[in-house]
Amino acid sequence: MIEGQASGGKTPKLRYGMVGGGQGAFIGDVHRKAIAMDGKAGIVCGCFSQSYDNTLATGDILGLPKERLYRTFDEMMRTEAKRPDRPDFMIVVTTNNAHYPAAKAALENGFPVVCDKPLTTSSKNAADLARLAKQKDLLFCVTYAYSGYPMVRNIRDMIAAGEIGDIRFVNAEYPQEWLATKLEDTGQKQALSRTDPRVAGISNCVGDIGSHIEFMVSHMTGLRIESLCARLDRFGPGRPLDDNATVMVNYKGGAKGVYWSSQIAIGHDNALRLRLYGTKGAVEWFQESPNNARVSFLGRPTGTLSRGRDPMSPRAQSISRLPSGHPEGYFEAFANLYAAYIAALAKKLRGEPLFKEDLDFPGVDEGIRGVRYIEKCVESSAKGAVWVNM
């Protein structure tokens, strides 16, 4: 197939503000570039850093007027809420410890929110954000970006249709090597923010990448964890938070699973991989080769599904952007999440009803579950790797 997804459209361009994502940060620029792919929203204000000079420099690069660049996110939320051209939503891409206060300030001032994961550093705060969002009827998205890959959506639809039967076992891993040495001792910003409990929260490895495993398995299979047994390791000398984790999982309904996440696995870049085994077949998806999936069925040869070449579910095909053989990656996955969120928000702003298919992006409830998963892993490990209920 050579068709790709059309972009653009007649929907008026929405406006957004951003907290975090200043110079030297990584994920904020990813969000901005992903949104720009479809041209359906534009940035109008920001508090990009605790350093006002950094915020001013970032705003200058983005072409924003100085009067819409702020020293604190509280000031931005209060001031922007009063403007006739106020933003339609706010994005929070700060370090973990600032997710809750920034998102809360946005909600309290009437702004829908998109927040990076993990949603907060405690399930209590995550539940408070959910309460506020529902009380004020504001759309909330948590950017588990890997769910935006077309092949992931296709696998989800395959499983929902019963193509591989009932899920029996899940084997999922997310190894990286980037913290195999004490990179934080060099002052590297990303390493510092993930290994310092004052910033990252109660977990590094599980909180940063292990939470992706929990979400992706749930998103693709519909399985919910009933209980887990976790061992969190700290291989970096003197490192206060985990850098390697092994988790055994019991799901509601009887399926089992094993998760491994690691930031000290030499030889691996960003190797999220999910293997899902059912009663009729199995499917495997690898984040570093996201356009393909390995599929096996009883009594049939194992094969490879290719995005763009092979037929996919209608939903998966609708978010495929490029012809076959032209790889789609991380930016496109983020863009697909934002396309769904912005389309739903635009409908809501027009006063139109929203249906289940409009809300096909990770929401605040998924964010709560992710934070609770992190807490339960830490609890299990602290008690000597015992089984705990979710």
128-169 pLDDT per residue, tens: 999 999 999 999 999 999 999 999 999 999 999 999 999 999
Q: How many CA atoms lie within 13 A of 382 on its CB side?
A: 9
Residue 45 confidence (pLDDT) above 50: yes
In whole angstroms, what separates CA 128 from the centre of its chain? 19
∠ CA 71-141-333, rounded to 5°: 105
Report pLDDT for 388: 98
Whole-number Å distance between alpha carbons of 169 and 302? 18
222 CB-near residues (< 8 Å, 6+ apart): 159, 160
Report pLDDT for 3: 45
Distances 125 to 92, 106, 120 between C-alpha atoms, Å = 15, 14, 6
Report pLDDT for 24: 87
Beta bridge partners of 92: 19, 115
To the nearest whole number, what is the mean pLDDT of the chain? 95
| Residue 317's pLDDT band (cuts 50, 70, 90) | very high
pLDDT (average), residues 298-306:
95
In this predicted model, what pLDDT tens digit does every residue of 197-240 receive, in sequence order? Answer: 999 999 999 999 999 999 999 999 999 999 999 999 999 999 99
Per-residue b or e along 81-109, where b marks 16 or more CB atoms closer than 10 Å to that residue's CB = eeeeebbbbbbbbbbbbbbbbbbbbbbeb
With contact defined as beta carbons under 8 Å apart, do 295 and 282 qualify? yes
Residue 11, Cβ density class (10 Å: 0-12 exposed, 13-18 middle, ≥19 buried): middle
Report pLDDT for 7: 47
Q: Which of 145, 139, 94, 138 is nearest to 120 (CA)?
A: 94
In this predicted model, what pLDDT tens digit does every residue of 59-70 receive, in sequence order? Answer: 999 999 999 999
| Residue 39's pLDDT band (cuts 50, 70, 90) | very high
Distances 3 to 6, 30, 293, 319, 367 between C-alpha atoms, Å = 9, 25, 20, 11, 34
Residue 6 confidence (pLDDT) above 80: no
Whole-number Å distance between alpha carbons of 67 and 85? 13
- Domains contained in the chain, CATH given: 14-145+339-363 (3.40.50.720), 150-321+369-389 (3.30.360.10)
Report pLDDT for 153: 97
Whole-number Å distance between alpha carbons of 20 and 196? 18
What's the DSSP call for residue 353?
P
Instruction: Indicate the pairing of strand 273-278 with strand 167-175.
Output: antiparallel
Residue 9 confidence (pLDDT) above 70: no
| Residue 4's pLDDT band (cuts 50, 70, 90) | very low
Q: In what order do the strands lie in the sheet with 41-47?
A: 41-47, 14-20, 89-93, 113-115, 140-142
| Residue 385's pLDDT band (cuts 50, 70, 90) | very high
Whole-number Å distance between alpha carbons of 13 and 35? 11
**179-242-368-161 Cα dihedral, nearest 10 degrees:** 70
The percent helix, strand, coil of the chain (3-state, each to 5) is 40, 20, 40
∠ CA 132-135-136, rounded to 5°: 85
Residue 5 confidence (pLDDT) above 60: no
